[in-house]
Amino acid sequence: CRIENCDSCFSRDFCTKCKTGFYSHRGRCFRACPPGFAALEELMECVEGCEVGQWSEWGTCSRNNKTCGFKWGLETRTRQIVKKPAKDTILCPT
C-alpha cells in the first residue's frame, strides 16, 4: 500500500482502514476531515457534513411583540440549510 498512515488497503492506491487517530476519506487518511465533511468518531470516517447558506439581514428590534429602539430588545437573523448531512447524527449549526 502506498497510502500514508494506512493500516489496510484495497489496492495500492486506496486505503480501507487508517492507522489509529486518522480519518478515512475517499481512500486516504487524514488527521482531520476536509472542509465540508464531518468526522464520524465511531467509524473514524469523514462523511458529508451540513452546509448552510448566508445569514439574512438583521430583523427589526422587538420586545414583547412591539417594535423598539436599539436598547432592550431582540434582533434576529436566519440562514437556511443548503445541504443536509449524510447521517442524522451530524448536527447542523443553529
pLDDT for 69 equals 67
pLDDT for 17 equals 93
**51: helix, coil or strand?**
strand
pLDDT for 83 equals 79
Question: Does residue 92 belong to any structural domain of this protein?
Answer: no
pTM: 0.59
Q: Are residues 3 and 40 in the same domain?
A: yes
Between residues 73 and 16, the one the model is more confident about: 16
Rounded to an integer, what distance in angstroms lies between the CA atom of residue 94 and that of residue 91?
9
Q: Are residues 33 and 64 in the same domain?
A: no
Q: Which residue range forms the structural domain that includes residue 65? A: 53-84
Q: b vs e for 50-72, b when ≥16 Cβ sit within 10 Å of the residue's Cβ?
A: beeeeeeeeeebeeeeeeeeeee
Rounded to an integer, what distance in angstroms lies between the CA atom of residue 13 and that of residue 15?
7
- State pLDDT tens for residues 47-91: 887 778 888 998 888 878 777 766 678 888 998 888 777 667 667
The secondary structure of residue 34, as a DSSP letter, is P
pLDDT for 15 equals 93
Counted domains in the chain: 2
Between residues 29 and 62, the one the model is more confident about: 29
Number of neighbours of residue 41 by Cβ within 10 angstroms: 9
